[in-house]
């Protein structure tokens, strides 16, 4: 029997695929060649997770891989009706990004509370100007998105003495349902968006939402750019409806030099890096190799995405181990 | 019996002294008038804690207050041989600054690990440039100074998953003695100075010390400026001996616009604000009023400084409650 064909979507190969040498036939594709090479593949590894190529190529003619793994937490760039309707299994990189993103959010919360951006600005001007910071302990946060990333953010902020409300799609145990969000946001010091991009979250942070916030509140998005109506956010910040925001994700990435977002007062812009700590590509490669070992032995895969919902459901999160150890 | 005389060193009175109305005669002094007014005072409240006036005025002729309270954690600006030798009781503001300073340090650690200063710089240039951050969990810190501030820093960093070694003057229980510092610093990712200024700590962070650090290490000083040999730090950073530093305290404060410290590569300069969160002056005022109540009833005071050592010894820290609740 011939080795299974593993098709890798990327110019830059995963650093750990060498471990599968002799057990798999590795082929590569880019956006231009994916449609043509897809029918011959048993497994598709979406290593270039910022690409829309899968959504574009999948609906074409021919056979399709039985398993698709994406080296990302979000799967919104991949999903198309044909992939959703197929019996192809889709897995994601759960386990790699949670802690780095939670650290990044905790760092933003502390840095904004202590006005670190203002301190750096004053340093450039060689000006000694004492200001009073805010205490983080005792402040209130709402984390929107009750998946593993939102949960890790909740855990880390809680350790800093922040009172955190975690909001998911539906209420369960310690998680609030979406119906509680407005009430919780209206009294929060921090609103942190860490939700997957779905029909329910697209554009959910709009003028109506920003109008609910306290003047002292700050908004942080480490989920998906399209959950924010960017024009509404810019407008709300320009009108000082609330105190500040930080975006790590955007509708269109990378952000062009002519984007109006770069110099909105009170807006901190970072280039989609919150989850990316030294060694992250190695960890993503190791994770895929571990999943491949299970798949080749016919064992059930962890991190299986509910394609209808667009994320790994939390029942599975509670029930399965972390593929990344 | 006449009311005790409370002399307040400051132009700006404590917001809470009104609570002592009718029980104390409040007088004010500044640096120019302190020496003349000191003999008539029963209690001295050093509200202007950045002043050297006490050290200058104390050695003069006449009677001295029985109790001096400073609205600061450090007492180095007050101590002179005559005050040390006297039977005047000296108390400090333990309980007010610990948590804010620990939050500030945690914020610096996370912001430096994620290169937030670089992100802000790139945002000004409207440049999308992805970089990899460092993971804070699993990194190693040494906190120098085992008083309540150093302990709170240790607690908060530990909660972020950092392995923290706390170094005091002498080893006891979970605290390392000064003899362990070099060994611990040589393998640390973070060295955090939170020590009082004493003969033992003055100039302790010098070229010899900075030469021990790993190239990836960062140094943070929230203690006292004079514990660092500033020229040695600038030299070490210019030579890239280690990765970066943040100073919140300086030998001479405020730092003048012509200071060479403002633009040293990898050095973050902040204007002695790490402990100062909204409401801090109220809290300092409340703390003094609470101590005054005890003093006026003849009860023992907490937060009593060992004037020989220059700080509140940790046996007392363990044994007494926190004056600030």
Q: For position B322, what pLDDT does the model report? A: 32
B253 catalytically annotated: yes
Interchain CB distance below 8 Å, B99 and A160: no
The CA-based angle B165-B170-B175, given to 5 degrees, is: 25
Whole-model pTM over 0.80: yes
Over 80: is that where the pLDDT of A316 sits? no
Half-sphere exposure of A142 (CA within 13 A, CB side): 24
B188-227: pLDDT as tens digits:
999 999 999 999 999 999 999 999 999 999 999 999 999 9
Interface mutation vs chain B, best among A50, A100, A152, most B CBs within 10 Å: A100
Of A133, A268, A276, the CB nearest to B276: A133
A197, with CB counted inside 10 A (0-12, 13-18, 19+), is: buried
Over 90: is that where the pLDDT of A126 sits? yes
Of A133, A257, A271, the CB nearest to B100: A133
Q: Which residue has the higher pLDDT, A85 or B2?
A: A85
DSSP string spanning B244-300?
EEEES--SSSSPPTT-GGGG-TTEEE--S-TT-BTTHHHHHHHHHHHHHHHHHTTPP
What average pLDDT score do residues A126-139 get? Answer: 98
Distance from CA of A299 to the nearest CA of B (A): 32
- Residue given tokens 């309540």 in the structure block: B148
What average pLDDT score do residues A121-126 get? Answer: 98
Interchain CB distance below 8 Å, B99 and A123: no
pLDDT in tens, chain B (325 residues): 789 999 999 867 677 888 999 999 999 999 999 999 999 999 999 999 888 999 999 999 999 999 999 999 999 999 999 999 999 999 999 999 999 999 999 999 999 999 999 999 999 999 999 999 999 999 999 999 999 999 999 999 999 999 999 999 999 999 999 999 999 999 999 999 999 999 999 999 999 999 999 999 999 999 999 999 999 999 999 999 999 999 999 999 999 999 999 999 999 999 999 999 999 999 999 999 999 999 999 999 999 999 999 999 976 454 333 323 2
Distance from CA of B163 to the nearest CA of A (A): 15
Smallest CA-to-CA distance from B238 within B261, B255, B217 is with B261
- In this structure, of A159-163, A279-283, B110-114, the range with the lowest mean pLDDT score is A279-283
Distance from CA of A113 to the nearest CA of B (A): 9
How far is Cα A325 from Cα B15, in angstroms, rounded to an integer? 55
How far is Cα B152 from Cα B146, in angstroms, rounded to an integer? 9
Interchain CB distance below 8 Å, A280 and B129: no
A224 catalytically annotated: yes
pLDDT bucket at A324, cuts 50 / 70 / 90:
very low
Interchain CB distance below 8 Å, B110 and A113: no
Residue B1: CB atoms within 10 Å: 3
With left for phi above 0 and alpha for psi between -120 and 50, is residue B133 left, alpha or beta? beta
Residue A205 φ/ψ, nearest 5 degrees: -95, 90
Cα–chain center distance at A304: 16
What average pLDDT score do residues A117-142 get? Answer: 98
Say what the ipTM of the complex is. 0.94
Interchain CB distance below 8 Å, A130 and B276: yes
B130 catalytically annotated: no
A10-63: pLDDT as tens digits:
867 677 888 999 999 999 999 999 999 999 999 999 999 888 999 999 999 999
Smallest CA-to-CA distance from A91 within A269, A263, A258, A302 is with A302
């Amino acid at each position: 029997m011939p080795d299974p064909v593993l098709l890798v979507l990327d110019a830059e190969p995963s650093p750990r695929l060498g471990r599968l040498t002799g057990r798999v036939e590795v082929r590569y594709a880019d956006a231009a060649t994916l449609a043509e090479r897809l029918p011959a593949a048993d497994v598709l590894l979406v290593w270039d997770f910022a690409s829309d190529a899968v959504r574009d190529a999948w609906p074409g003619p021919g056979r399709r891989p039985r398993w698709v793994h994406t080296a990302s937490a979000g799967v919104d760039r991949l999903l198309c009706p044909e992939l959703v309707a197929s019996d192809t299994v889709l897995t994601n990189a759960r386990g790699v990004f949670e802690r780095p993103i939670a650290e990044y959010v905790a760092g933003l919360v502390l840095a904004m509370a202590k006005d670190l951006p203002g301190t750096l600005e004053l340093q450039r001007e060689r000006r000694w100007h004492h200001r009073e910071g805010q205490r983080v302990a005792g402040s209130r946060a709402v984390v929107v998105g009750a998946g593993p990333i939102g949960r890790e953010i909740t855990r880390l902020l809680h350790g800093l003495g922040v009172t955190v409300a975690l909001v998911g799609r539906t209420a369960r145990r310690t998680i609030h349902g979406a119906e509680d969000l407005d009430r919780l946001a209206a009294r929060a010091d921090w609103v942190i968006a860490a939700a997957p991009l779905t029909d329910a979250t697209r554009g959910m942070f709009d003028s109506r939402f920003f109008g609910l916030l306290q003047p002292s509140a700050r908004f942080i998005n480490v989920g998906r750019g399209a959950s924010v109506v960017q024009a509404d956010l810019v407008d709300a910040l320009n009108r000082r409806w609330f105190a500040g925001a930080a975006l790590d994700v955007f509708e269109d990435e990378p952000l062009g030099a002519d984007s109006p977002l770069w110099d909105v007062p009170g807006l901190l812009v970072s280039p989609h890096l919150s989850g990316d700590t030294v060694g992250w590509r190695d960890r993503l490669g190791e994770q895929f190799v571990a999943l491949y070992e299970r798949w080749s032995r016919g064992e059930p895969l962890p991190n299986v995405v509910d394609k209808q919902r667009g994320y790994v459901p939390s029942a599975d999160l509670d029930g399965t181990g972390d593929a990344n150890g």
